[in-house]
Structure 1
Amino acid sequence: MTAAPIPPAVPESIAARAAILDAEDPLAAHRDAFVTTEGVLAYLDGNSLGRPLKATRERLVDLVDGAWGDRLIRAWDEGWMDAPTELGDTIARVCLGAAPGQTIVADSTTVMLYKLARAALGAQADAGRDEIVIDRDNFPTDRFIVEGLAAEHDLTIRWLSAPHDDGVSVAQVAEAVSERTALVLLSAIAYRSGHVADIPGITAAAHDAGALVLWDLSHATGAVELALDADGVDLAVGCTYKYLNGGPGAPAFGYVARRHQAAFRQPIQGWMGAADPFAMGEAYQPASGIRRMISGTPPVLGMAPMRDMLELIDSVGMAAVRAKSRALTAFAVEVAEELLAPYGVVVATPRDPEVRGGHVTLDHPDFKAVTARLWERGVIPDFRPPHGLRVGLSPLSTSFHEVAVGLAAIAEELAG
């Protein structure tokens, strides 16, 4: 039997501040809704994989015993066929600031990014546009997809560079786009630094040049307030296993603004995106609206867990979630400056809370080894090369006490 991890010694002043913040937290009671893990002192990786909710266990049992076990194939006609658009509309309303009929849940984030990027390029083909704009520090999947599309279609990539602890600016995009730009693909929150992009400003700058913009919302959905319709967003993709707590491998969502749907050709034409899937027709005829972006059979089991988190977010509101996120990250930065800066740790995340997302990145050359030792101690952040330890703070499941414990453990590891 493995011994229980020994908590680090949290300085009294920091522990006292954490206790006050937890006592004043209007969302504190919701932490009880999540499954707790024996032996974990501080879970600081909710920006990679959110904790499961206790209610999800019952939901999955009900799915097996009920719709699947009792109704069997009849359940397709009784709700499963509409699940991609129904759940997509829920995500749109609760988290995206988007009207119904523009969002689906299907596929992985990678596949959804490919589908929407490829469809956007196809819609721009007749305009003679042959360039894609993306930043060098975007998540690998985003960059790899762009590289593949560029090679396949003989396109030029215009690479943007941003400061290590910041993100792409409106001015950079405005300078990069031209009459040759077909698509701009950027992340709403930088996966490394946590920088929040100026979505309306960048989108407008791209539109001024006639380009379309595809936003990766993977680190933004459920952490910051979004307004896709109001901001004039063309396309967006996001995962659901981070702040939406959908579980490992939960399906992604895709958003296509209504004004683009009729012109977008589905690049992975599958039977579930056809106008009449059960006609078994000889030729593909796309469904109307957003449903045409579906390819294969909906991942019904994978959709179930995120419903519990969406219900919880809906009950408290994204404004309250974002307020807690700001407070958590501000406390993390404050404690890092106090406890970790003396060991040479650098905060590699924006200090302005308006442009800081739900995680804080700390840089130190020893953090790869430190992260491995922290995991053995029951303190779980994650590491991103070259030197970044990410403190991921999921507002509804993370306490200020956890932050204090986690950063105190980092200080002990650095102290040797």
Structure 2
Amino acid sequence: MNRQRCLALDAEDPLAPLRAQFELPEGVIYLDGNSLGVLPRATASRVQQVVAEEWGRDLIRSWNTAGWIHMPQRLGDKIAALIGANAGEVVVADSTSVNLFKVLSAALNLVRERAPQRTVIVSERHNFPTDLYIAESLARERGLELRLVDADAIAGQLDDTLAVLMLTHVNYRTGRMHAMDELTAAAHAAGALVVWDLAHSAGAVPVSLGAADFAVGCGYKYLNGGPGAPAFAWAHPRHTAHMDTKQLWQPLSGWMGHAAPFEFVPHYQPAAGVSRFVCGTPPVLAMAALECGIDSVLAAEPLGGMAALRRKSLALTELFIQLVEERCAGQGLALQTPRDLQWRGSQVSFSREDGGYAIVQALIERGVIGDFRAPDLLRFGFTPLYTRFVDVWDAVEHLVQVMKSGEWREARFNQRAAVT
């Protein structure tokens, strides 16, 4: 493989036109879409329209005339098409952390009402910290046990003490992808429920929630919704169908999750279906930006949709791994991402015993933006909507130069910033 061949692959790429949807700074190779997606070109004008026309001109009337009040459900239906769910099963609201608190609480209520002896929440030891912190707080509040295990040990924890299995579909550190269907079925066979975090899956890999119980996900990574974009929540209809019980009264039962919010009655009655997982007033400006991001992913549908994005993602990550291992051999970089394609998300992580943070900073100064995850991971995300094969070649060329020159050892690259 050489640079000319990469250019040829880009010329043959049926998804190449999708790159024009995005604002990509000249001279930048962006490999951090798994942390923050690129700005869609449509976003600025759409948000300005909401500000100037819907808010500025139509004022409060826009809750009705512009459909602001239905944004959680409308955007949720669009996300549903990307995660193997049906219309009416997903809502956009709050942050991933807040939504996880809601759905994990609901799952615990459902299990423990019928089986109070189930006192254990199981999760992966290297799950994203916010998920573990939320689970830890709920376990402490309810007198339960949060049990953290390595990924390969999860199957051994599915017993009659388990209440909820809580996992992130694609691990944020390594990019390792769990077998969602198999683990969900195994947990159900053990009598437990399952909560999935799709933060590194939605818009990146094909997802089929199938028989799972609850899921949450992020709006600002592969969905390109902007920094701090609202998140989403999904609940299987078999759970939300119970309107005559308090089992599924999620703990943040705010007015927008009420069955009739504008009747202003003093007592709570949950809205039908997943809409009960909405809490407060929708953040309209943020949701307008998020909708542009979601639409940028849905634009792939005529070109093959998530299946086509997945094929390109695997080709990009495979090329990156091949080039790094060939051209940076002997530089102490150890692959932490699965080699088996079926278990790989849309990122590649290499570990290095020392200097990982500084190497990433040296790359960033050169215009190659990845990120670092303590204690030793160099992490690179590949978003097939806008990442090209020639970007992979050029990124590795910069990495080769950084490693061989030793420029990463310079003091300025070793000064830790607040965000890594």
Q: How many residue pairs align between the two structures? A: 392
Aligned-residue offset at 1:117:
0.6
For residues 35 and 5 of structure 2, the distance between their equivalents in structure 1, rounded to whole angstroms, comes to 27
In structure 2, give the amino acid aligned to 1:207: H
Aligned-residue offset at 1:349:
0.5
Unaligned runs of 5+ in 2: 407-420
For residues 309 and 180 of structure 1, the distance between their equivalents in structure 2, rounded to whole angstroms, comes to 41
1:114 to 2:101 alignment: yes
1:295 to 2:279 alignment: yes
1:13-412 alignment runs, 5 A limit? 14-40=2-28, 42-78=29-65, 79-93=67-81, 95-126=82-113, 127-128=115-116, 129-161=118-150, 168-169=151-152, 172-228=153-209, 231-261=210-240, 262=242, 263-316=247-300, 317-364=305-352, 365-412=354-401
Aligned-residue offset at 1:387:
1.2
Aligned-residue offset at 1:219:
0.3
Unaligned runs of 5+ in 1: 1-12, 162-167
Query: Alignment partner of 2:375: what SS?
Result: coil
In structure 2, give the amino acid aligned to 1:136: R
Deviation readout 1:46-70 (Å, 9 max, x if unpaired): 1100101111121111111222222
Q: Identity of paired residues, percent?
A: 46
Which one has more relative contact order, counting CA pairs under 8 Å at least 6 apart?
A: 1
Aligned to 1:5: none
Query: Alignment partner of 1:383: what SS?
Result: strand
Query: Alignment partner of 1:157: what SS?
Result: strand
Query: Alignment partner of 2:328: what SS?
Result: helix
Aligned-residue offset at 1:342:
2.6
Aligned-residue offset at 1:359:
0.3
* TM-score with structure 1 setting the length: 0.91
* TM-score with structure 2 setting the length: 0.91
Aligned-residue offset at 1:351:
0.8
Aligned-residue offset at 1:305:
2.0
In structure 2, give the amino acid aligned to 1:361: S
Q: Provide the alpha-carbon RMSD of the alignment.
A: 1.3
For residues 310 and 111 of structure 1, the distance between their equivalents in structure 2, rounded to whole angstroms, comes to 21
Deviation readout 1:258-298 (Å, 9 max, x if unpaired): 10113411101111111111122111121121111111001
Which stretch of the first structure deviates more once superposed, 216-225 or 65-74? 65-74
Contact kept in structure 2, 1:238 and 1:252, CA below 8 Å: yes
Aligned-residue offset at 1:240:
1.0
Query: Alignment partner of 2:299: what SS?
Result: helix
